[in-house]
């Protein structure tokens, strides 16, 4: 991401030109003012009058260029940040679906909010300042050289001193900025967890403990902010002391030079104006550069490297998914043992069992969130871990209790902005029981104006419109009224596609429509031999 350290290239060139032009006009004004002073002392009124008209023109031109420069600077900042954010989002979306693990999400979120804001404030917005300082310093050198070339040595020596000072002072700032990045990421993750789990927090009355943890995170962020401010203040204080000392030296040197060289009073005005123009850039230079160096490492967090995938098997259709005596679970814990599970094209599979039995472990394995502890899972005879991720996941569509629903038109939520004609969308909506809604219905607040049943039906409609070959239903009936859930299950079973329904809720009238029913219990999975077995087993669980 280093290529973005100068932001948007074309507007950057325009900005540099306009800033230098503005400084050049200011320098010209300074020079002519000094000349006018000498003309006044000589009582040369005619030339003073002629020069004053030119000064008015230059002053007006300087005013216009100043406005234009400000406009170009703001435009450059906006273009630079938009370009950086766009490329970062492109990198995020270009990540392999299997690489974007849950623990990376807080990092992405923190980068897009906290880190981008810090980078804009302390780096991007500082670049026009640095260019302005450079332009002002350069014009001041030109003015000094016009009066006496020897005077140029003084500000150059000062600049070298402050440059070396900025190198030393930037290291502690950089260290504190990195600590701040880490604490902000942790803080962002905690806030996100709290908002997503708000209902659970209220339900189980754990507000007090969450509040205490929040205060711990917030305090750490404030502490890191304070440490950055302390280091910055140290730099500013030392710089101020050095500049004030140098200012005294400059006044003395300037007076000595003026007396010994016999320069005109107008030239003295030019010299002191030039030195004044030099002091501000040098005073700000060290501090701004130290802050920029301190936060510059943040941009390295914006560089996301995609691993080269070793998956080379391509699939275009779903024929069969086979678990063959697999142990499923995590590195430190096996949840299910000796799992035999077959799902073939067109079949309707129901996987039931009590909460906590391990049903989600099967789904996580299918989604490749976890890998089998023992054995391999195959799709069409290929190890699912050898199949190209994009090929594999295109075959499946998941319907769960939450689902990805966003504010916008209903049609866009169903098609995900794919080029699908309205007739197909309307037909699919009728298939899944959404026929009473218009395809242009506005979805508000991420789906708050949809019922739980409608959310599930929207996800079913999406699966059909996007030509998924397998629908995976993950406990979609858990928070729905029985009549609504029963109706959705009937619609699901009527679809001409493979479906896997994982639930701890079932409806007896729909059970005969399933090809096979699996029961998860006692750390394994087995095929139900009869509908009565399903009924008896789940009834027993509900009474326990």
pLDDT digits (tens, 9 = 90+) for 436-460: 888 888 888 777 788 878 888 888 8
- Residue 95 predicted with pLDDT over 90: no
For 320-543, CATH number out of 1.10.10.10, 3.20.20.80, 3.40.50.920, 3.40.50.300 equals 3.40.50.300
Q: Which stretch, 184-188, 262-266, 444-448, 510-514, has highest mean pLDDT?
A: 510-514
Beta bridge partners of 327: 374
Nearest in space to 20 (alpha carbons), one of 72, 60, 55: 72
Global pTM reads: 0.62
CATH topology of domain 2-299: ABC transporter transmembrane region fold (1.20.1560)
Torsion of CA 533, 535, 540, 544, to 10 degrees: 140
pLDDT band, residue 263 (cuts 50/70/90): low
- Residue 199 predicted with pLDDT over 60: no
- Locate 261 and state its tokens: 């060289």
- Residue 347 predicted with pLDDT over 90: yes
Instruction: Find the mean pLDDT for residues 3-22.
Output: 86
pLDDT band, residue 541 (cuts 50/70/90): low
pLDDT of 39-60, one tens digit each? 777 777 777 788 888 888 888 9
- Residue 283 predicted with pLDDT over 80: no
User: Among 305-314, 362-371, 500-509, whose mean pLDDT is lowest?
Assistant: 305-314
Q: What is the mean pLDDT of the chain?
A: 80
Q: What CA–CA distance (Å, rounded) separates 326 from 83?
A: 47
- Residue 89 predicted with pLDDT over 70: yes
Instruction: Find the mean pLDDT for residues 129-142.
Output: 85
Which pLDDT does position 297 carry in this prediction?
Answer: 67
Which pLDDT does position 470 carry in this prediction?
Answer: 92
Where is pLDDT greater, at 293 or 54?
54
**What percent of the chain lies above the pLDDT cut of 90?**
14
- Scanning 297-379, the segments in alpha helix (DSSP H) are 359-366
- Residue 404 predicted with pLDDT over 70: yes
Instruction: Find the mean pLDDT for residues 474-496.
Output: 82
Q: How far is CA 129 from CA 77, 278, 286, in A?
A: 12, 14, 12
Which pLDDT does position 170 carry in this prediction?
Answer: 62
Instruction: Find the mean pLDDT for residues 101-122.
Output: 71
- Residue 267 predicted with pLDDT over 90: no
Which pLDDT does position 195 carry in this prediction?
Answer: 63
3-state secondary structure of 374: strand
**Please, how many CA atoms are within 13 Å of residue 474, restricted to the half-sphere of its CB?**
18
pLDDT band, residue 384 (cuts 50/70/90): very high
Which pLDDT does position 311 carry in this prediction?
Answer: 82
Q: What CA–CA distance (Å, rounded) separates 424 from 418?
A: 12
- Locate 84 and state its tokens: 């950086």
Which pLDDT does position 345 carry in this prediction?
Answer: 94
Which pLDDT does position 50 carry in this prediction?
Answer: 80
- Residue 165 predicted with pLDDT over 70: no
Neighbours of 420 (CB within 10 A): 16
- Residue 417 predicted with pLDDT over 90: no
Q: How would you label 89-100 residue by residue, b for 16+ Cβ within 10 Å and e otherwise? A: eebbeebeebee
Instruction: Find the mean pLDDT for residues 349-368.
Output: 87
pLDDT band, residue 505 (cuts 50/70/90): confident
- What is the residue extent of each domain of the chain? 2-299, 320-543
Which pLDDT does position 319 carry in this prediction?
Answer: 94
pLDDT band, residue 152 (cuts 50/70/90): confident
Helix axes 45-94, 126-147, angle to 10 degrees: 150
Which pLDDT does position 16 carry in this prediction?
Answer: 93
- The answer to whether the beta carbons of residues 455 and 405 sit under 8 Å apart is yes
Cβ-based neighbours of 77, under 8 Å, separated by 6 or more: 7, 120, 124, 125, 128
pLDDT band, residue 382 (cuts 50/70/90): very high
3-state secondary structure of 469: coil
Q: How far is CA 499 from CA 16, 53, 333, 351, in A?
A: 61, 85, 29, 11
- Residue 203 predicted with pLDDT over 70: no
Where is pLDDT greater, at 14 or 285?
14
């Amino acid at each position: 991401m280093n290529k973005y350290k100068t932001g948007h290239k074309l507007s950057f060139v325009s900005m540099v030109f306009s800033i230098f032009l503005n400084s050049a006009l200011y320098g010209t004004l300074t020079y002519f003012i000094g000349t006018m002073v000498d003309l006044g002392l000589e009582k040369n009124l005619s030339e003073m009058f002629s020069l004053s008209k030119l000064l008015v023109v230059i002053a007006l031109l300087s005013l216009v260029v100043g406005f234009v420069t400000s406009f170009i600077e703001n435009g450059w900042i906006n273009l630079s940040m938009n370009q950086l954010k766009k490329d970062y989002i492109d990198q995020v979306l270009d990540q392999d679906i299997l690489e974007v693990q849950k623990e990376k999400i807080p990092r992405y979120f923190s980068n897009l909010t906290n880190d981008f804001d810090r980078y804009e404030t302390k780096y991007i917005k500082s670049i026009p300042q640095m260019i302005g300082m450079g332009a002002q310093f350069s014009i001041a050198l030109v003015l000094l050289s016009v009066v006496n070339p020897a005077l140029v040595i003084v500000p150059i020596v000062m600049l070298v001193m402050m440059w070396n000072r900025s190198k030393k002072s930037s290291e502690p700032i950089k260290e504190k900025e990195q600590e701040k990045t880490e604490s902000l990421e942790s803080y962002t993750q905690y806030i996100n967890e709290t908002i997503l789990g708000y209902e659970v927090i209220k339900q189980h009355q754990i507000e007090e403990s969450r509040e205490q943890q929040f205060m711990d995170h917030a305090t750490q962020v404030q502490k890191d902010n304070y440490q950055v401010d302390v280091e910055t203040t140290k730099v500013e204080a030392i710089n101020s002391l050095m500049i004030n000392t140098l200012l005294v030296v400059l006044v003395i040197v300037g007076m000595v030079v003026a007396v010994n060289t016999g320069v005109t009073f107008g030239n003295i005005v030019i010299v002191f104006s030039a030195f004044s123009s030099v002091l501000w850039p040098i005073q700000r230079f060290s501090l701004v550069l130290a802050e920029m160096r301190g936060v510059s490492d943040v941009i390295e967090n914006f560089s996301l490297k995609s691993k080269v995938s070793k998956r080379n098997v391509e699939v275009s259709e779903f024929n069969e998914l086979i678990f063959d005596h697999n142990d499923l679970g995590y590195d430190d814990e096996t949840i299910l043992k000796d799992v035999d599970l077959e799902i073939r094209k067109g079949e309707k599979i129901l996987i039931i069992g009590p909460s906590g039995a391990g049903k989600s472990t099967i789904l996580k394995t299918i989604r490749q969130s976890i890998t089998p502890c023992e054995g391999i899972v195959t799709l069409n005879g290929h190890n699912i871990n050898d199949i190209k991720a994009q090929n594999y996941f295109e075959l499946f569509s998941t319907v769960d209790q939450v689902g990805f629903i966003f504010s916008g038109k209903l049609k866009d939520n169903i098609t995900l902005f794919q080029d699908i004609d309205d007739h197909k969308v309307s037909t699919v909506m009728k298939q899944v029981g959404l026929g009473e809604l218009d395809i242009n219905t506005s979805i508000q607040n991420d789906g708050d104006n949809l019922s739980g049943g409608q959310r599930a039906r929207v996800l079913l409609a999406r699966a059909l419109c996007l030509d998924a070959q397998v629908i995976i239903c993950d406990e979609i009936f858990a928070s729905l009224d029985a009549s609504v859930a029963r109706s959705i299950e009937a619609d699901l079973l009527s679809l001409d596609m493979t479906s896997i329904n994982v639930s701890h809720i079932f409806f007896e009238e729909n059970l005969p429509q399933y090809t096979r029913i699996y029961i998860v219990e006692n750390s394994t999975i087995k095929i139900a031999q009869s509908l009565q077995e399903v009924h008896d087993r789940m009834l027993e669980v509900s009474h326990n």
